Amino acid sequence: DSGVTQTPKHLITATGQRVTLRCSPRSGDLSVYWYQQSLDQGLQFLIQYYNGEERAKGNILERFSAQQFPDLHSELNLSSLELGDSALYFCASSVGSGSANEQFFGPGTRLTVL
Amino acid sequence: ILNVEQSPQSLHVQEGDSTNFTCSFPSSNFYALHWYRWETAKSPEALFVMTLNGDEKKKGRISATLNTKEGYSYLYIKGSQPEDSATYLCASKMDSSYKLIFGSGTRLLVRP
């Protein structure tokens, strides 16, 4: 158990809908990262927050947005969902924001868009 | 190299064999190289983070080396066990941003 929690574990929804994925980092970690893993693709970095502020952005679609709240939990919002958005979404956390910080991954949320 | 590349894509070894795989990354603007172990139906677990050229790290039977000048890292597993079966991912920071770029992984299967 990494100490990072994600909810829900599974989510099934329809095209065009909007969903919110939630992540609570390990106690003491200030950085939260979101990753997407689609079928036959590696881990794709989406976005990073550090202490409430956006720190880095990857290949995140405009239909997707995220935020980190004062209590450091983070939410990833996915809207106008398409079939291709079906994937495993991981959240990770680390103490600092730099690239030398070990990241601890949550169990993931499996999103299925029908 | 413009991306993080791992080889081989998959590897089948017999229990007791030692094995190694490679991670190649852009050598310019290097900051850090991460190795993760990802078992099926679980989440990636950090093995090592290396930052200095010549770094060598070890955790039990698993060790890793880093060559930042030529842009590669090796991961070694000594005396592979079935429980070592997993996908091994490496990741590197490739520019001045904070994001890590992951390779596609090496899938290791250790046969009893």
| Contact state of A106 with B43 under an 8 Å Cβ cutoff | yes
The mean pLDDT value for A53-75 works out to: 94
**Quick check: A28 pLDDT over 60?**
yes
**Quick check: B1 pLDDT over 60?**
no
Question: Token pair of B103, please?
Answer: 């390779």
pLDDT band at A31 (very low <50, low <70, confident <90, very high): very high
pLDDT of residue B2: 61
Tell me which of A19-28, A73-82, B85-94 is least confident.
B85-94
Question: Token pair of A39, please?
Answer: 């079928």
Contact of A45 with chain B, judged by CB distance below 8 Å, is answered with yes
Q: In the A/B pair of chains, how many CB contacts fall below 8 A?
A: 59
pLDDT digits (tens, 9 = 90+) for B9-65: 999 999 999 999 999 998 887 888 999 999 988 999 999 999 899 999 999 999 999
Looking at chain B, which residue has its C-alpha nearest residue A39?
Answer: B104
Query: Smallest Cα–Cα separation from B17: which of B96, B80, B90?
Result: B80
pLDDT of residue B95: 65
| Contact state of A45 with B105 under an 8 Å Cβ cutoff | no
Do residues A94 and A68 make contact, with C-beta atoms less than 8 angstroms apart?
Answer: no
Q: Looking at per-residue confidence, does A112 or A101 come out higher?
A: A112
Contact of A108 with chain B, judged by CB distance below 8 Å, is answered with yes
Q: How much of chain A exceeds pLDDT 90, in percent?
A: 82
Counting every residue written for chain B, the total comes to: 112
pLDDT digits (tens, 9 = 90+) for B52-103: 999 999 999 999 999 999 999 999 999 999 999 999 999 997 666 667 889 9
Which of A33, A102, A107 has its CB closest to that of B49? A102
User: How many Å apart are CA B48 and CA B56, to the nearest integer?
Assistant: 10
Looking at chain B, which residue has its C-alpha nearest residue A101?
Answer: B49
Average pLDDT, chain A: 93
The mean pLDDT value for A82-88 works out to: 95
